[in-house]
Structure 1
């Protein structure tokens, strides 16, 4: 599946979850429900995918985890915050770089309209 088609499908499923649940829940609730929808849509999806940090010859397993990794190329980072901050942007960009994944979506489910709180990131490294 082409990247734009994949992101479009995932955003649609995320909006479906948000419409059903609304804002106000924990990140883990949205993550689990979106995971369910992605699996039912026939997508390959991994939840809480471990992401080690490689520094020269050292592999550091410090508990970094991607919320959802879809088709081994699309990183989903779920938030339930008042507003995105630069730290959230840096986090997803770092996950893209460390995992060598081409694209990511940062989603804030703590919003009235989810589509207004989704940011797309491209790995330019």
Structure 2
């Protein structure tokens, strides 16, 4: 996906899965999720202008997952729904 700033392409981002253009899914195979991985997932939510994402790690002894929300996007969506 192209990333724009002031209508100019400034970069490209790629998530592992995008479900129905609504939910971003980022897969990892690490012994432990770190803050940098959460920051990357939040960055993807911002770049794709999405409200919800999943960060799934298959590399630890047991499956790890985190639901990630873009609070600004969620707040903006709820405000728009009240205006319609």
What residue number does 1:55 align with? 5
**Please, which of 69, 73, 87 is the counterpart of residue 18 of structure 2?**
69
The runs of 4+ residues in structure 1 deviating greater than 3 Å are: none
Deviation at 1:69, TM superposition (A): 0.4
Deviations 1:45-81, CA, capped at 9 Å, x for gaps: xxxxxx222122311243x201000011110000011
Q: Which has the higher helix share?
A: 1
**Please, which of 87, 92, 96 is the counterpart of residue 45 of structure 2?**
96
What residue number does 1:32 align with? none
Q: Which has the higher strand share?
A: 2
Residues matched between the structures, number: 72
1:101-116 correspondence to structure 2 within 5 Å = 101-114=50-63
What residue number does 1:123 align with? 70
SS at match of 1:66: coil
| TM-score, scaled to structure 2 | 0.77
1:4-83 correspondence to structure 2 within 5 Å = 51-62=1-12, 64-83=13-32
Alignment RMSD, CA only? 1.3
| TM-score, scaled to structure 1 | 0.53
